[in-house]
Amino acid sequence: MILSVRNLRVSAAAVLVLWLFGPTPAPAAEFRAGKLTVAEPWSPPTPPVAAVGVVYLSISNSGPSADRLVAITSPVARKVEIHESRTVQGTIQMRAVASIECQPGVTKIEPGGVHIMLLGLTAPLTAGTRFPLNLQFRDAGALTIEVLVGGAE
**CATH number for the domain including 52?**
2.60.40.1890
Identify the pLDDT of residue 5: 38
Strands annotated E in 62-139: 67-73, 77-88, 91-97, 100-102, 105-109, 114-121, 130-137
pLDDT above 90 (res 121): yes
pLDDT above 70 (res 76): yes
| Mean pLDDT (whole number) for 134-149 | 97
* Residue 65 one-letter amino acid: S
Instruction: Say which DSSP state 18 is in.
Output: H
Nearest residue to 37 (alpha-carbon basis) of 58, 60, 62: 60
Nearest residue to 62 (alpha-carbon basis) of 39, 36, 33: 36
pLDDT band at 151 (very low <50, low <70, confident <90, very high): low
Q: Which of 66-70, 71-75, 108-112 has the weakest average pLDDT?
A: 108-112
pLDDT band at 130 (very low <50, low <70, confident <90, very high): very high
pLDDT above 50 (res 41): yes
Global pTM value: 0.79
Phi, psi angle pair for 44, to nearest 5°: -70, 150
Into how many domains does the chain fold?
A: 1
- For 9, the domain range is 5-149
For the chain, what percent of residues have pLDDT higher than 70? 80
